[in-house]
């Protein structure tokens, strides 16, 4: 765990931190890979995507909702850099392993990642309504993150340095923009949806959703403020979806289906894995 830092220690971390993305002006690419395509199913390439719930003009405009990323050398900018530098020490730890596992996204992956807090490893063939709900919402979430990503064109924290990250460095990842975090947006919105489906498990579900976003900082692929912006974006989309009759109808179908899957027929998650996860997540890695 990264302990609370004194001002001298914070200064050392910041001095040792990499050059910030904002310090290196960068033109916008002609076709920025800012969010999943709305016209193709990322889980089944080449097949038409499910339709998002919200019309193009009905979703929240995250560019207007979010504050700009922290300015260079502002207090939040210093906290961003300190968090990146400090969490590199987690490489090889159980928390690092969770962050690497949390790289997987989408409905099926998140249901699997939330198995310990749900108490059941769900047979996903039994929950088509749940998967449909989450995958359709995913398209609305991707659309909401696209605007601010392209508007701010913020580079990821590992760009311009050789610090370790929990995934392979690729050109596609380097060229994609950082603010807000799409993973944190999706993970928090999915946690809100799951908490509304199973309210008696809301506390552990939401705690896991918070940790899912923090994994992006541990992984080294997002700034801390990217994750905070992702939570705000995810909350904004969820609130808007709750006003959509189609989403609410699908939510009710998913509620009955998920309760049935949790009440019997599922496989208990590996308790050793769940214990390691609980121990690793008990103390947040990001304290300042």
Q: Is 244 left (phi over 0), alpha (psi -120 to 50) or beta?
A: beta
Closest CA to 133 of 111, 101, 118: 111
Q: Hey, which residues does 267 pair with through a beta bridge?
A: 121
Residue 72 is a catalytic residue: no
pTM: 0.84
Residue 222 is a catalytic residue: yes
Catalytic residue among 216, 231, 244, 250: 216
Residue 183 is a catalytic residue: yes
Tens-binned pLDDT, residue by residue, of the chain (288 aa): 444 333 333 333 434 444 444 444 444 444 444 344 434 444 455 555 579 999 989 999 999 999 999 999 999 999 999 999 999 999 999 999 999 999 998 899 999 999 999 999 988 899 999 999 999 999 999 999 999 999 999 999 999 999 999 999 999 999 999 999 999 999 999 999 999 999 999 999 999 999 999 999 999 999 999 999 999 999 999 999 999 999 999 999 999 999 999 987 678 999 999 999 999 888 766 654
Domains in the chain with CATH codes: 78-281 (1.20.144.10)
Cα-based distances in Å from 230 to 45, 49, 91, 178, 213: 26, 23, 24, 10, 8
Catalytic residue among 226, 231, 244, 250: 226
Catalytic residue among 183, 208, 210, 231: 183
Catalytic residue among 222, 231, 244, 250: 222
Closest CA to 21 of 226, 218, 159, 146: 159
């Amino acid at each position: 765990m990264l302990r609370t830092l004194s001002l001298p220690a914070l200064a050392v971390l910041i001095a040792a931190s990499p050059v910030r993305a904002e310090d290196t002006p960068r033109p916008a690419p002609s076709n920025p890979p800012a969010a999943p395509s709305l016209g193709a199913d990322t889980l089944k390439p080449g097949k038409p995507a499910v339709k998002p719930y919200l019309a193009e003009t009905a979703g929240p405009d995250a560019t207007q909702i979010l504050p700009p990323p922290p300015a260079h050398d502002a207090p939040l900018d210093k906290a961003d850099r300190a968090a990146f530098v400090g969490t590199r020490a987690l490489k090889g730890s159980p928390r690092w392993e969770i962050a690497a596992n949390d790289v997987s996204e989408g409905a099926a992956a998140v249901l699997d990642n939330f198995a310990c807090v749900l108490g059941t490893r769900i047979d996903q063939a039994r929950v088509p309504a749940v998967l449909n709900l989450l995958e359709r919402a995913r398209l609305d979430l991707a659309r909401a993150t696209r605007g601010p990503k392209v508007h701010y064109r913020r580079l990821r924290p590992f760009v311009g340095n050789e610090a370790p990250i929990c995934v392979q460095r690729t050109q596609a990842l380097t060229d994609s923009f950082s603010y807000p975090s799409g993973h944190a947006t999706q993970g928090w919105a999915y946690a809100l949806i799951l908490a509304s489906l199973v309210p008696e498990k809301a506390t552990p579900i939401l705690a896991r959703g918070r940790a899912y976003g923090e994994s992006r900082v541990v992984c080294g692929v997002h700034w801390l403020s990217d994750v905070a912006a992702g939570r705000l974006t995810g909350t904004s989309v969820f609130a808007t979806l709750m006003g959509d009759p189609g989403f609410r109808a699908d939510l009710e179908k998913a509620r009955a289906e998920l309760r049935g899957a949790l009440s019997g027929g599922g496989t208990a998650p590996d308790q050793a894995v769940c214990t390691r996860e609980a121990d690793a997540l008990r103390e947040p890695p990001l304290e300042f």
